[in-house]
Amino acid sequence: MSQKKFNHKKRFGQNFLINENIILQIANSIDYKNNSQIIEIGPGLGALTKHLIKKCEPIIIEIDAEAICYLQKNLSKKLNIIHADFLKLNLNSILKKKNIIIGNFPYNISTQILFKILEHKNKIETVVGMFQKEVSERICSKPGSKKYGITSVLVQAYYNTQILFNVNSDNFRPKPKVESTVIKLTRNNTKKINCNEDVFKSLVKQSFNLRRKKIRNAIKLNIIDLIKIDLDLLDKRAEELSVEDFINLTNLITENES
């Protein structure tokens, strides 16, 4: 399959980045000197891959057999490619002690990719990825913002977030109907949050599902719990609570239930 034909073939929700300067910026956003294993998700035509292989030997995860053939023919037959759906792949079989994930993530599964990364947070120290601009803003937003939500809290509990740059839709083929943003996630020092993680996740989701309500009305607590828990936290709305506030509230709830 020729590049021209492949470029115009929209597959698996992916839009191919064609601006070389932006591709190089993404490639240069990670540290190649800290002995981390580098994993690229969804290489497509290898626009990013060709820069990565100049500096490391990445593991490449690609679901599309035609894309794999294209990469092997036009870049190298020796590429370490795993033909798999990233969302179904057993990452424990490939992750080393330290890993960096990079990619122009398909918009339709980008949030799912992110949550799978969170499942392996203690082995994935850096993520550099292209997301739909709106999704990137949700990931990186801080308390008080209307865009601050479930994804913001769950990601920021374990990663420092940074918006690197925006990418206009003219830089893709096929041209998407949305704008894009490249972000960087860097693992923070929290090996494990200081609360019950399952309760924490449930609390965050409950709170934001009714984000216009104060916490006391958004989450299910009996009257005894309400009396014992910090009233300042209960009188706020979800978007006003920091990650630390949600952790403290989780502990207050679990302590009262025990």
Is residue 192 domain-resident?
A: no
Is residue 177 domain-resident?
A: yes
What pLDDT band is residue 221 in, cutting at 50, 70 and 90?
Answer: low
Task: Mark which of 187, 212, 236 sits at the end of a domain.
Answer: 187
- Residues 103, 38: Cα–Cα separation, whole Å: 10
Q: Give the CATH number for residue 167.
A: 3.40.50.150
Do residues 216 and 157 both lie within one domain?
Answer: no
For 128, the token pair is 């550099």
For 95, the token pair is 């992750």
Do residues 128 and 243 both lie within one domain?
Answer: no
pLDDT tens-place string over residues 228-253: 566 678 889 999 999 999 998 898 88
Do residues 179 and 110 both lie within one domain?
Answer: yes
Percentage of residues in the chain with pLDDT exceeding 90?
Answer: 76
Phi, psi angle pair for 184, to nearest 5°: -125, 130
Do residues 159 and 226 both lie within one domain?
Answer: no
Do residues 10 and 82 both lie within one domain?
Answer: yes
Q: When comparing pLDDT for 127 and 177, which is higher?
A: 127
Rounded average pLDDT over 89-99 = 95
The b-or-e profile of 147-163 (16+ CB within 10 A means b, else e) is: bbbbbbbbbbbbbebeb
Q: What is the domain range of residue 7? A: 3-187
**pLDDT the model gives residue 224:** 46
Do residues 45 and 142 both lie within one domain?
Answer: yes
Do residues 75 and 175 both lie within one domain?
Answer: yes
- Residues 64, 43: Cα–Cα separation, whole Å: 10
| Angle, alpha carbons 135-235-139 (nearest 5°) | 10
Nearest-CA neighbor of 179 among 131, 133, 130?
133
Phi, psi angle pair for 65, to nearest 5°: -60, -35
Q: Give the CATH number for residue 217.
A: 1.10.8
What pLDDT band is residue 133 in, cutting at 50, 70 and 90?
Answer: very high
pLDDT value at 46 more than 50: yes
Rounded average pLDDT over 105-124 = 95
Is residue 229 domain-resident?
A: yes
What pLDDT band is residue 12 in, cutting at 50, 70 and 90?
Answer: low
Do residues 137 and 219 both lie within one domain?
Answer: no
Do residues 23 and 91 both lie within one domain?
Answer: yes
Q: What is the pLDDT of the chain when averaged over all its residues?
A: 90
For 230, the token pair is 């910090």
Do residues 116 and 224 both lie within one domain?
Answer: no
Task: Mark which of 134, 167, 187 sits at the end of a domain.
Answer: 187
Domain count, the chain: 2
Type and span of the H or E element at 248: helix 243-257
pLDDT tens-place string over residues 157-175: 999 999 999 999 999 988 8
Do residues 25 and 101 both lie within one domain?
Answer: yes
Rounded average pLDDT over 18-28 = 96
- Residues 195, 250: Cα–Cα separation, whole Å: 7
- Residues 7, 45: Cα–Cα separation, whole Å: 8
Task: Mark which of 187, 211, 242 sits at the end of a domain.
Answer: 187
Do residues 166 and 223 both lie within one domain?
Answer: no
Nearest-CA neighbor of 26 among 109, 114, 129, 124?
129
